[in-house]
Amino acid sequence: MSAPVEVVLSADSAGQLFNCAVFDPHSGSEFLSYRGGNTSSRSLTVLNGEYILGAQLGKNFINVWEIQRKDQLQQKIVCPGIVTCLCASPDGLYVLAGIAEAIYLWEMSTGNLLAILSRHYQDVSCIRFTDDSSHFVSGGKDNLALIWNLSSVVQLDSSRTPEPCHILSRHSLPITDIHCGLMGPQARVATASLDQTVKVWEVSSGEMLLSVLFDVGIMSVTFDPCEYFLFCGGSDGNIFQVSLCSTSLSRDKTFQTDSDGNQVFKGHRNLVTCLSVSMDGTLLLSGSNDETVRMWDVQSKQCIWSINHKGHVTNAVIIPAPANMFLADSHPAVPLPRFSRHLNPSEQGDGTGSGGMCLRLGASTQHFGLKTTDFKPLKCNRQQKRTHFACF
Amino acid sequence: MKTKKQKRQGDFQKIQLKVGKKKPKADNATNVNFRSKAIHLPEQLKHADSGPTTHRQLDIKDLLSKLHHINSNIKQGALVGLRELLSAQPTLIELHASAVLSEVAALFTDKDGSVRAAAVRLLRFIAQCISAERVAPFFPLLSAHLTCAMTHISEAIQEDALRVLDVLLEHYPGLLSQRHTVLLTNFLELISQKRKAGTGQDKSGKGGFALTISTNRSVTAQQWRLTVLLRLGSFLQAVVEERPLEEGVTSMIGLGMWAGEKGSVTSVDVSWEEHVFGKGRIQVFENSGAVPTPHSTYRLRPDSKAVAGMNKELCSAETVQGFAGTLVPLMLEIWVEAAGGDRVQTDSGHLLSAEAMALMFQILTILQLLRRLTPQRDQQDILDAWFRNSYLTDFKHHFMKNFPYGLLEVARHRKKADGKRIRQQQVATGTVAGGNVEPLALNVTLCQVMVTLSLRGQDHVEAEDADWLGTIRVFIRETLSNGGKLSSKHLAALLEVVWRMIVTQRSRVVTDDLLQAVYVQYQQRNLAVSVRTLLLHFFSQLYIQEHQNHPHIARSRILARWLASLPVQLVQLCSRNPQLSAQLLETIHPAAARGNKDLLQSLQKNACSIYDPQEGSVVVLPVESQKRLVQILHFLPTFPAELLACLSQVCNTGRVSASLATMLIRTIHLRSPLSGWSSSSQDVPVKDVDYLSFFFTTLTGFSSEMLQALQDTDEDGLMPSSTLSPLSVFTTTLEQFLHHWDVVEEVCHCLDTLGSRAQCFDVIQNAIIKNLCGLVVVPDCVCAAILRCVPRLLDVNFLPSDTLLHFLSDCCLSMLSLLLQLEQSARKRDAVWEACFAAMSTVPRLLRLVLQSLHVGDLCEEELPVLAQILSLLLQHTQLRNHMMANASLLQHIIQDLTHFYGGETREQWLTDLLYCYSVTLSGHRANMGMRDIY
């Protein structure tokens, strides 16, 4: 069997059968499952195609599996608090975790804790990176969504606390989900909220482009890759499809009446908590609190298959299949470091430093790619295996 | 022949004249016996197309040509004539604008005063008639003449030039502000002159100008300076206000800093219904979304062009510095003269004449405006730093010298001593141009100017500034907390000073000190609405904007106390001022969302009064505020049982719209751990027992007391119980019924999504049996709600108890007969039918019970048709058909009884219908059976 291009990764809150499992997006058959514990909502992420990270529900650690060794729990990363959301950057260099009101940023190569961002007033509910890892967006239960520039956050300037580039404050109830479109810093971000709206923003300017008001609170949101459609999972179990380019659409749909059922995916009986669209924009994956994961055909809005879980579905996502996933004898290129629990471990000095250098941008650079003169060298106690210039 | 000769003689007959005889009249003599009269032509004839004229018959060309006349009386007359002509014929102004304006402007520098006055009057008149766009082409000319007049050697002409300036400022501030380069130096030259280069005075750093004093003016030097400064002030004001607004540049001074965020991109707002029905077409992305909007701050490389174009405009720090460098020393000199010339004694240096006060006020206003000339934030900071470096010592020395005992003391002192006389004096002196300036206004402006010089949190500077900032602080504290009422203008300025001091000084003591004073002002009763709004706005913006960046503000006790007082105020305000309530909510909402402890505690304490179903804010305020209140519920720490009781009534009383009630129910559902949304559940906001009782109460829509009271009433809406309607049904109004119907829908949906359906149904069943089954009188909406929710919540494997089923069958029968007997609206009828049929088709035993309870023998004659109608309805319903067949024998029995007991001779329509339905149903069934037999 040739390896599939995309796979479905899903997890539930019960964790009876497995913590998370990998399915075929077309048939719904199970490929692999990873055991041990369960995963809380919006905290399952694949790091660099080599590890799967999932925050334990209600506990203060993160479960880590090597992606090819499904049975064995690789390690547990102990965190300072209960992890509410987790996200690894697409380039695999950083990991962000929302722990209570604060966002923790770790560097993957060293395990150093680079920053603790506490600009949210209440629990962080969701964090998403842009596809080029240059920015990230965090949304919290305090109705705020913040857009951060990664390079300004990792700046080595202790006198200045990092500020978000934009504060999106137009929601009036907690933010439930965030989806970041493609195109790096020029991407659009969709935020879903319990205030029954979905809002689309521009990352670069922080301006709101669109606000759609629904009848029910929205628990999850996603774009298709072309950003033709916005899919919004409601708290009543319906999935609403908003077409963002309706002029081009009307040409094809002259003979259809826009009746009510036409733009709604009906099938779930409870909150739709996760949504994800496949690479080609034809399949929509949804996970719900009614303990099912369903795959939909976007064009005809029919359910293709559905898988029953044993608890609320906490994560369901379509991802490109990592190369290592189906090669049992492969192993990660980089071993996972110990995650530090405190800021600036080098200053606390456990003294085993062996000449590794950590390079970070200086204070005056606003955006990546502007200046290369401000790098400040800093002693670091771990062997450096990866250069960091790639991310800047 | 002869005839010919005779004829010739006849022609030339000679008349002989004789002496003594009258001479006969010649044939061609002129008859002169007529009289003639004289014709006067006082004016020459004009051409017909010459157009309108003045009463002196002068047209516009004449008048314009007369303006060049050497005699000033004629010039003045022509100006007056022009004004008359143009006011009579306004269309002429547009036609001759260029000629008139250029000629009039030339007269600004006329050496005769009356001519200039007339010219100014004419200009004022013209300015009223022509818009700024139309004048724009001629404005360079006008301003050139104005400059000419302002710099004229004759002082009278200079004075009149200011009048011209007044007119232009009033009507064309935008155009005038573009000419700032020339005009600003003109202003300087009006009150000063350039020092000679050789004098070497520049060392003192006072710029190259020195104040001039001329003795031959009609006014004193001070008054003259005041008039000039007044004009300069209003000119700068025009420059500041007329600047084209740039994106993203908000003036961070004054109340502008409190303005909410403005989206420069117009976002698309649609609601789902509109979108679905094709009304709201969405086109979100410009340029196919490939290019970000121009408002984006994200730049791949810095824009080098933007910096270059600034210099010409009066908005960069350098240009302002250049101008201020000459102006400020002059103004300091004026200040010294005004302060010193008045009183010589040092101990009463704070007592000022009204004129000096006006002058000082003007100086401070100009200083303030100078700072506002730069719109960008960074430029403003540069400018502030420059002012501080160059002039802080001077300002401290001159401005602050007498401030502590201050000008406020003047007013008090005077009022105490001889208030009446002083007031008379003030009236007398108030006629000076510039008017009367209150000492408070002067003091407040002084504070504003001085406070901008204080720098943001640098420790070594703080100690330096402590002395003068201290006096300002004392002044502000006393002004705010002495119990006097302040006008909103002064208060706004004071609040701005407070804001700046709090942000720059970064000390908790200062913050609390100042906020306490503001809070005292806030706590006053009977404040004007504008003042109250201002104070509220100040606090809320202080909390929302600066809270995060400044821990000393966040920890302020006063702010915490203020936040805690908000819910109480909301309760007290009730429905008296919805705008103010909305503003309160605008602060409460974000504060609650940020989990502010003080606010949440207070909110929790007052929750029952805010959400009171009778007079709580949630029912009396307008819809927008109601919505906010419902959203705030989401952040409430806990929901005690009393609050849930209130909320349940709020949902059902109908003073909150159905959609809002749905939102409320959803909020409570989400807050409960039963909904499975909030994963972290250390603290339980809604206890499971309370949650279920809330939903049950909302489902019934009537509290137990209300139901109990209903048992004893005998109202019109009551339908007595009978065999066909075992319960006596209380009919509610259509509005109430439909509202409740919507609420029930949401309740069912929420209960439906609970984890264990069997347990949930068990609880509901027990509740129904305990609370409702014993009742005799039941409202129809309760019946409908019960019938609706039971089939939706019933688990397949769960057997409902007999008591419940009996009650349901009673409900079902009662509702059916009610519908048939009373005229009801279509919506209500459909809703009830749907509920009944759904219940009977999901629970077959219910149908059987209904049929069993139909004892035909007990019915009276009139009820038979109703029974028949019910039966035919049941038979017609396709979903019920199979279940009806299962009870075929029972049905047959009833119909037999029916025909038996109906004693009428003629066969009524209803009976025919019933029998027809019955036969159709049965035959269909038999056909099916037959088909089955065949296979």
Pick the CATH number of A6-320 from 1.10.3720.10, 3.30.460.10, 2.130.10.10, 3.40.50.2300: 2.130.10.10
Degrees to nearest 5, angle at CA B130 with B126 and B135: 100
- Domain range summary for chain A, segments of one domain joined by +: 6-320
Tens digit of each residue's pLDDT (9 = 90 or more) over A116-144: 898 888 889 999 999 999 999 999 988 89
Structure confidence at residue B734 (pLDDT): 83
DSSP string, B88-130: H-THHHHHTHHHHHHHHHHGGG-S-HHHHHHHHHHHHHHHHHS
Question: Rounded to a whole number, what is the distance in Å from the CA of A211 to chain B's nearest CA?
Answer: 5
Length of chain B: 935
Structure confidence at residue B495 (pLDDT): 84
- CA of A290: which chain B residue's CA is closest? B753
Count the alpha carbons within 13 Å of B729 in the hemisphere toward its beta carbon. 25
Counts for chain A of helices (H) and strands (E), in that order: 3, 30
Question: Rounded to a whole number, what is the distance in Å from the CA of A323 to chain B's nearest CA?
Answer: 31
- Do the chains contact at B594 and A121, CB–CB below 8 Å? yes
- Do the chains contact at A205 and B265, CB–CB below 8 Å? yes
Where are the strands (E) in A207-324, listed by range?
208-213, 218-223, 229-234, 239-243, 264-265, 272-277, 283-288, 292-297, 302-308, 313-320
Q: Are strands A208-213 and B268-271 parallel, antiparallel or unpaired?
A: parallel
- Do the chains contact at B753 and A289, CB–CB below 8 Å? yes
- At residue B307, φ and ψ (nearest 5 deg) are -75, -35
Pure H helices in B136-258: 139-150, 155-171, 173-177, 180-191, 221-242
Calculate the CA dihedral of residues A283, A287, A293, A295 and round it to 10 degrees. Answer: -10
Q: Between these two residues, A276 and B418, which has the higher pLDDT value?
A: A276
Instruction: Print the SS3 string covering B342-375.
Output: HCCCCCCCCCCCHHHHHHHHHHHHHHHHHHHCCC
Query: Facing residues of A303 across strands?
Result: A296
The set of residues, in sequence order, having a beta carbon less than 8 Å from that of B595 and lying 6+ positions away, is: A121, A122, A142, B635
| Tokens at A248, concatenated | 């081009």
Closest residue by Cα to residue B845 from B883, B819, B818? B883
Give the span between the Cα atoms of B353 and B342, in whole angstroms. Answer: 7
Give B284's contacts in chain A (Cβ within 8 Å).
200, 209-210, 244-245
Nearest-by-Cβ selection for B292 from A204, A289, A370: A204
Structure confidence at residue B308 (pLDDT): 38
- Do the chains contact at B680 and A13, CB–CB below 8 Å? no
| Tokens at B351, concatenated | 């007592």
- CA of B674: which chain A residue's CA is closest? A289
Structure confidence at residue B249 (pLDDT): 36
- Do the chains contact at A207 and B267, CB–CB below 8 Å? yes
Cβ-based burial of A105 (10 A; exposed 0-12, middle 13-18, buried ≥19): buried
Give the span between the Cα atoms of A114 and A342, in whole angstroms. Answer: 9
A391 neighbors A93 (Cβ within 8 angstroms): yes
Structure confidence at residue B314 (pLDDT): 55
Structure confidence at residue A108 (pLDDT): 86
- Do the chains contact at B292 and A243, CB–CB below 8 Å? no
Give B745's contacts in chain A (Cβ within 8 Å).
none
Count the alpha carbons within 13 Å of B512 in the hemisphere toward its beta carbon. 11
Closest residue by Cα to residue A94 from A108, A80, A82? A108
Question: Rounded to a whole number, what is the distance in Å from the CA of B533 to chain A's nearest CA?
Answer: 22
Structure confidence at residue A385 (pLDDT): 36
Structure confidence at residue B341 (pLDDT): 53
Question: Rounded to a whole number, what is the distance in Å from the CA of A214 to chain B's nearest CA?
Answer: 5
Q: Between these two residues, A268 and B753, which has the higher pLDDT value?
A: A268
Structure confidence at residue B256 (pLDDT): 38
Structure confidence at residue B305 (pLDDT): 43
Residue from A117, A183, A213, A273 whose CB has the most chain B CBs within 10 Å, to mutate: A213
Residue from B264, B266, B295, B298 whose CB has the most chain A CBs within 10 Å, to mutate: B298
Q: Between these two residues, A257 and B365, which has the higher pLDDT value?
A: B365
Give B269's contacts in chain A (Cβ within 8 Å).
210-211, 213
Pick the CATH number of B60-195+211-241 from 3.40.50.920, 1.20.120.530, 1.25.10.10, 3.60.130.10: 1.25.10.10
- Do the chains contact at B594 and A216, CB–CB below 8 Å? no
Nearest-by-Cβ selection for A195 from B302, B631, B753: B631
Give the span between the Cα atoms of B692 and B698, in whole angstroms. Answer: 10
Nearest-by-Cβ selection for B631 from A172, A206, A208: A172
Question: Rounded to a whole number, what is the distance in Å from the CA of A363 to chain B's nearest CA?
Answer: 17
| Tokens at B803, concatenated | 């008591």
- Do the chains contact at B276 and A119, CB–CB below 8 Å? no
The set of residues, in sequence order, having a beta carbon less than 8 Å from that of B387 and lying 6+ positions away, is: B324, B371, B452, B453
Q: How many CB atoms lie within 10 A of CB A347?
A: 10
* Per-run averaged pLDDT (10 residues), chain B, 935 residues: 64 80 83 87 63 75 84 89 86 84 87 89 89 86 89 86 88 82 80 58 51 68 81 83 51 37 58 66 57 56 43 62 81 78 51 73 83 72 80 77 50 42 39 55 79 65 69 81 77 83 77 82 80 85 74 79 88 85 89 87 90 86 89 88 88 85 88 71 74 87 80 68 76 85 88 80 87 82 86 80 86 83 76 84 84 77 78 80 80 81 71 81 63 47
- Do the chains contact at B285 and A245, CB–CB below 8 Å? yes
Give A82's contacts in chain B (Cβ within 8 Å).
680
Give A367's contacts in chain B (Cβ within 8 Å).
298-300
Give B752's contacts in chain A (Cβ within 8 Å).
269
Tens digit of each residue's pLDDT (9 = 90 or more) over A180-204: 998 888 888 999 999 889 999 988 8
- Do the chains contact at A258 and B301, CB–CB below 8 Å? no
- Do the chains contact at A122 and B593, CB–CB below 8 Å? yes
Q: How many CB atoms lie within 10 A of CB B96?
A: 18
Count the alpha carbons within 13 Å of B556 in the hemisphere toward its beta carbon. 28
Give the span between the Cα atoms of A119 and A122, in whole angstroms. Answer: 9
Give B295's contacts in chain A (Cβ within 8 Å).
205, 207
Closest residue by Cα to residue B415 from B387, B389, B438? B438
- Do the chains contact at B634 and A207, CB–CB below 8 Å? no
Structure confidence at residue A124 (pLDDT): 92
Whole-number Cα distances in Å, B871 to B594, B750, B900: 60, 34, 16
CA-atom Rg of chain B in angstroms = 47
Q: Collapsing DSSP states into helix, strand and coil, what is residue A200? A: strand
How many angstroms from the chain centroid is the CA of residue A95? 10
- Do the chains contact at B267 and A215, CB–CB below 8 Å? no
- Do the chains contact at B276 and A165, CB–CB below 8 Å? no
Give the span between the Cα atoms of B647 and B610, in whole angstroms. Answer: 10
Nearest-by-Cβ selection for A215 from B272, B589, B680: B272
Q: Average pLDDT in the A27-46 region?
A: 88
pLDDT, mean over chain A? 80
